[in-house]
Amino acid sequence: EKIKKKTKKDKINIIQKKIAELEEKNIRLVAEYQNFKRRSIEESLKVKSITKKEVFSEIIGSIDNLERALSIVNFNEEQDEFTKGIKMVYDGLVNKLVNLGLEEIDCTGLANPNSHHVVATDNIKDKENDQILEVLQKGYEIDGILIRPAMVKANQK
């Protein structure tokens, strides 16, 4: 009888060890799946941001051209319909891009080498060193990714 009881205890111990091993394996698989899911989402968002960056970098040249065209038109009551149409296209395009996440680089304050490209300087006594004096070309970013730095004129002492 002792042999049978010992065998039953051994069988129970073996089964309990197997259950513990399977539970541990299950926990590892769940953790691996969660990590895979998280990495997949991160990768998907990164690809989406890069794709947006590529598309937006092509489109912002057209925005620049529309801004230049509109800057030479004197906006008043007597605008012709063509000029009004160009303004509507420009406003619509900019609004869509902003809704998709396009952000204009802030050009107030000091020039930041990560988002501003200083292409001209001036020496004004009552302004801080590196103070942005003028924006020569707007800069843009999407989802924290720089598309194009802003070209600025900054104060240099």
- Please tell me the chain's helix, strand, coil percentages from 3-state DSSP, rounded to the nearest 5: 55, 20, 25
Confidence (pLDDT) at 83 = 84
Confidence (pLDDT) at 85 = 86
Query: pTM surpassing 0.75?
Result: no
Confidence (pLDDT) at 78 = 61
List Cβ<8 Å contacts ≥24 apart for 135-141: 135/107, 137/64, 138/64, 138/104, 138/105, 138/107, 139/104, 139/105, 139/107, 139/115, 140/56, 140/60, 140/102, 140/103, 140/104, 140/105, 141/102, 141/103, 141/105, 141/115
* Confidence tier at 115 by pLDDT (50, 70, 90): very high
Over residues 13-63, the pLDDT tens digits come to: 999 999 999 999 999 999 999 999 999 999 998 888 888 888 999 999 999
Q: CB atoms < 10 A from the CB of 64, how many? A: 13
